[in-house]
Amino acid sequence: MTAQRGQGVFSPMPVSGIALGCDYNPEQWAPEVWREDMRLMRQAGVDLVAVNIFGWAHLEPRPDEYDFAGLDQIVDLLHENKIKINLGTGTSSPPPWLSTRHPEILPMAQDGTTRYPGGRQAWCPSSPVFRSRALALVERVAQRYGRHPAVALWHVSNELGCHNAHCYDEQSAEAFRRWLHKRYGTVEGLNDSWGTSFWSQRYDDWSEVQPPRQALSARNPAQLLDFHRFSSDELLGYYLDEVAVVRRHTDAPITTNFMVTAHIRNLDYWTWAPEVDLVANDHYLDHRLGDATAELAFAADLTRGLAGGQPWMLMEQSVGAVSWQPYNLAKGPGEMIRNSLTHVARGADAVCFFQWRASAQGAEKFHSALVPHAGTDTESWREVLRLSQTLDRLDEVAGTTVQTDVAMLFSWQSWWASEGEARPSQAVGYLDQVHRAYRALRELGVTADVVSPQTDLGRYRLVIVPCLHLVSEHEAAAISAYVAAGGHVLVTFYSGIVDENDRIHLGGYPGAFRELLGIVGEEFVPLPPGVRVGLDSGGSGGLWTERLRLTTAEARACYTDGPLPGVPAVTRNAYGAGTAWYVATELEPAGLREVVREVVGAAGVQPLGPEGDGSVEVVRRGDGRRSYLFIVNHGSAEVRHPATGVELVRGETVAGVVPVPPGEVRVVREESP
Ligand code: GAL
């Protein structure tokens, strides 16, 4: 226990070393299987097990009738086997009796239709009935197990907001009004912030304000933005209500699993992170993306950002395929270990999986698990055992932090605001632009901390600002001050356009960064998908161009054709003691990498990894006394990387160079220089 964080006592990790863990759903199996599970968990060296994630219907089979017999046995079995418990509060999915007796807890979609039980998380975040029934269960669970010596961590609900973040029923409408009242004080304040003089939307009374239900035309974008904020805050309030109950009965750390992943953007985790005792994330490879492995690295760096640079916990990932994508790809040999160690390289001190034993029934019966349907005479089980041994060898890395002097800004609020209903180009996706910038850095061998726009940037040499569409005056001023003091920034298009109320920063684009960048944008000139324009620096741009005028900046590349021949596409501006670059079009990956390479060089950043296609990742973790170099080889050829010290995965001394076979990872405890 080291420092105060959130409401609880901040304990970096519930288990020492680099923990191996999993979700365990024994209620799906007969008790004979539980004994076998314990034997196999010991064989696999499982340190931490999450139970009671979906326990409600078992613990409270009828209203106010509690039955803890099954969970008692499981908790005791795990304890006897010296396995620590990550105890779920059990509230993630209500039992059928609750929604049958109280259908008002069911969520409503934006078209006014009800979402029924039969899946999971069918509850409205603003439902008072749901909240009071859930908190009553939490009280019982916390009372019973709060002081149990095996319970090392508390797991509130599960992936809050995965399915039910936005509810549009009358209970949510009332809660939204209360939230708005608190934020704006008066209806006039609300009218001003939402710009309701447009389209006759002026409100005269709070009772007239609605959640942004499905409408006939584009909805008020500030209302949509506030509804995102409200919905995130509403679930955070719910999380804190559960925490308050659990905290009365335990000193153990309390958290919940975030979803820092490509396809979910419901919660503003910058506001959540200070409220959890340790940051935990669920990450699944998303093969709907161009480069799922690059996204893994990005998500890990962003999770570390949420943890303020401190170690964090990978609460869920899969051993092999998931079951919820259109095509659920299996992992190749070694891929699960390699990806696990990529998370560790980027700051994870615990590697956990969904789930222990593959379900025989239910909607996730095709999801991979540590123990597959085929049992333990399988390659995947043998790989689990190898992972466990490898993590044990890396125990000494725990507690160290990732070393880098580059940051990238990320904002859920910008994500929400930039993807409004009526905008210059529907083809511009926030995450896509962020991923492009991230990939350029990764392909140059540079690791970035992914941080909030409110972070103190002083310690970074370089800050990348991709598509930061929404930025407050205050945040923009801090970024400018950072550059004036000698920092370097690279800003990409569609940044700095609106303030926190989704109001345009007037006077020319990109309003918030106009002076910093030394340019004035007069008009957006987006391009239809597929259309490319040439650049005099070579290569081409697509998707977006702008009628830009230079004020103090110099042009580094101009368009040679298309709608804006001769107009700058890439600019550089000396600002105070630093430099600010702007990229006004979507460069090809190679073109963006060229610009980023120049900026990285000018900022004096030394890439750790080799330049390439990103398949070799090199990351350093350390703490001033110790230093560990991770070399991850996702590629198909051997890599030889400079390093001297002891290589921990194989336990060998390396002098000058460490060979990393294709698909493998090496971790060198570096000799102090
Ligand atoms: C997560 C969830 C788990 C399981 C897993 C499957 O969303 O927390 O319960 O559903 O995904 O990938």
Assigned domain for 202 exists:
no
pLDDT at 584 over 70: yes
Mean pLDDT, the chain, rounded, equals 96
622-652 pLDDT, tens digit each = 999 999 999 999 999 999 999 999 999 999 9
Let me know whether 368 and 475 are in one domain.
no
pLDDT at 261: 87
User: Residue 646 belongs to what domain range?
Assistant: 616-670
Across the range 299-316, mean pLDDT stands at 98
Question: Measured between alpha carbons, how far is 313 from 18 in angstroms, rounded to an integer?
Answer: 9
Q: Which atom of ligand 1 is nearest to the CA of 257?
A: 8
CA distance 243 to 259: 19
In a shared domain, residues 390 and 488: no
Of the residues 570, 602, 634, which one is the last residue of a structural domain? 602
441 C-alpha to ligand 1 centroid (Å)? 30
- pLDDT, mean of residues 24-36: 97
Say whether both 157 and 295 belong to one domain: yes
> What tens digit of pLDDT does each residue of 202-247 get?
999 999 999 999 999 999 999 999 999 999 999 999 999 999 999 9
Q: How far is the CA of 654 from the centre of ligand 1 (A)?
A: 40
* 159, part of any domain: yes
Is the model's pLDDT at 481 over the cut of 70?
A: yes
Owner of token pair 């990285």? 600
Question: What's the per-residue H, E or C state across 422-460?
Answer: CCCCCCCCHHHHHHHHHHHHHHCCCCCEEECCCCCCCCC
Same structural domain for residues 412 and 329? no
What pLDDT score was predicted for residue 6? 44
pLDDT value at position 5?
44
DSSP 246-269: HHTT--S-EE-EE--STT---S-H
Catalytic residue among 60, 234, 316, 383: 316
Number of H helices, E strands in the chain: 17, 31
Nearest alpha carbon to residue 216 among 416, 421, 417: 421
Helix (H) or strand (E) holding 380: helix 379-393
CATH number, domain with residue 523: 3.40.50.880
pLDDT greater than 70 at residue 273 = yes
pLDDT, position 262: 81
550 CB neighbour count, 10 Å cutoff: 15
Tell me whether residue 453 is in a domain: yes
Q: Which of 406, 622, 417 lies closest to 504 in space, CA to CA?
A: 417
Whether 295 and 148 map to the same domain: the answer is yes
For ligand 1, atom 12: residue with the closest CA = 322
- Residue 354 Cα, ligand 1 centroid: separation in angstroms? 7
Same domain, 341 and 447: no
Query: Which residues, in sequence order, are bridge partners of residue 578?
Result: 575
Rounded CA separation 232/234 (Å):
6
Domain boundary among 546, 575, 602: 602
Residue minimizing CA distance to atom 5 of ligand 1: 354
Kindly state if the Cβ of 367 falls inside 6 Å of ligand 1. yes
CB 407 within 8 A of CB 451: yes
Q: Classify strands 627-633 and 665-670 as parallel, antiparallel or unpaired.
A: antiparallel
Q: Which pLDDT band holds residue 673 (cuts at 50, 70, 90)?
A: low
- Report the CATH number at residue 311: 3.20.20.80
For the chain, the distance separating the N- and C-terminal CA atoms, rounded to the nearest angstrom, is 32
Q: Which amino acid is at 305?
A: G
User: Is 13 among the domain residues?
Assistant: no
Catalytic, 159? Answer: yes
Copy the structure tokens of residue 267: 């919660």
Query: Residue with the nearest Cα to atom 11 of ligand 1?
Result: 354
**If you take atom 7 of ligand 1, which residue's CA is the nearest one?**
159
Task: Return the ligand 1 atom nearest residue 322 CA.
Answer: 12
**Does ligand 1 lie within 6 Å of residue 354's CB atom?**
yes
The pLDDT of residue 61 is 98
* Contact by Cβ (8 Å): 49, 24: yes
Q: What is the pLDDT of residue 329?
A: 97
- Ligand 1 atom index nearest CA of 159: 8
Q: How far apart are CA 240 and CA 276, in angstroms?
A: 9
For a mutational test of ligand 1's pocket, the pick from 354, 356, 365, 367, i.e. the residue with the most ligand atoms closer than 8 A to its C-beta, is 354
- 507 and 624 co-located in one domain: no
pLDDT class of 9 with cuts at 50, 70, 90:
very low
In 345-487, DSSP assigns E strands to: 348-353, 401-402, 406-409, 449-451, 462-465
- Model pLDDT, residue 2: 33
Residue 460 contacts residue 487 (beta carbons within 8 Å): yes
The answer to whether the CB of 54 is under 6 A from ligand 1 is no
Across residues 391-405, what is the average pLDDT?
Answer: 97
State which of 602, 632, 647 marks the end of a domain.
602
CA distances from 557 to 4, 465, 567 (A): 49, 19, 9
Residues 655 and 587 in one domain: no
Q: Are residues 460 and 339 in the same domain?
A: no
Which atom of ligand 1 sits closest to the CA of residue 259? 7
Evaluate whether residue 433 is within a structural domain: yes
In this structure, which amino acid lies at residue 53? Answer: I
Q: 518 with 591, same domain?
A: yes
Candidates 60, 159, 295, 546; catalytic one: 159
Q: Is residue 536 a part of any domain in this protein?
A: yes
Q: What gap in Å lies between CA 307 and CA 303, rounded to an integer? A: 6
The reply to whether ligand 1 has any atom less than 6 angstroms from the CB of 282 is: yes
**In a shared domain, residues 394 and 458:** no
Phi, psi at 343, each rounded to 5°: -60, -45
Question: And the tokens for 492?
Answer: 């990409």
| Number of neighbouring beta carbons within 10 Å of residue 99 | 19
Taking residues 332-339, report their average pLDDT: 98
- 574 lies in a domain? yes
The answer to whether 316 is a known catalytic residue is: yes
In-domain check, residue 10: no
Sheet holding 554-558, edge to edge: 449-451, 406-409, 462-465, 488-492, 578-583, 568-575, 554-558
Please compute the mean of the pLDDT values over residues 370-394 and round it to a whole number.
98
Ligand 1 close to Cβ of residue 322 (< 6 A):
yes
Dihedral sign (CA 394, 396, 398, 400) = negative
CATH number at residue 663: 2.60.40.1180
How high is the pLDDT of residue 452? 98
Q: Which atom of ligand 1 is nearest to the CA of 162?
A: 7
* Residue 219 DSSP class: P
What is the CA 490 to chain-centroid distance, rounded? 22
- State whether the beta carbon of 158 lies less than 6 angstroms from ligand 1: yes
Does residue 499 have its Cβ closer than 6 Å to ligand 1? no
**Smallest Cα–Cα separation from 411: which of 187, 660, 200, 228?**
228
- Same domain? For 565 and 515 the reply is yes
Dump pLDDT digits (tens) for 416-438.
999 999 999 999 999 999 999 99
How far apart CA 198 and CA 194 sit, in angstroms, is 9
Mutate which of 120, 121, 316, 359 for ligand 1 pocket (most atoms within 8 A of beta carbon): 316
Cis? peptide before 361, omega within 30° of 0 = no
Q: Is the distance from the beta carbon of residue 259 to the nearest atom of ligand 1 less than 6 Å?
A: no
Q: CA of 264: how far to CAs of 286, 414, 432, in Å?
A: 11, 14, 13
* Ligand 1 atom nearest to 158, measured from its CA: 8
- Cα-to-centroid distance, 259 and ligand 1 (Å): 10
| Tens-place pLDDT, residues 93-146 | 999 999 999 999 999 999 999 999 999 999 999 999 999 999 999 999 999 999
- Percent of the chain scoring above 90 in pLDDT: 97
Centre of ligand 1 to C-alpha 87, Å, is 16
What is the number of domains present in the chain? 3
Mutate to test the pocket of ligand 1, among 28, 258, 282 (most ligand atoms within 8 A of CB): 282
Question: Is the preceding peptide bond at 607 cis, omega within 30 degrees of 0?
Answer: no
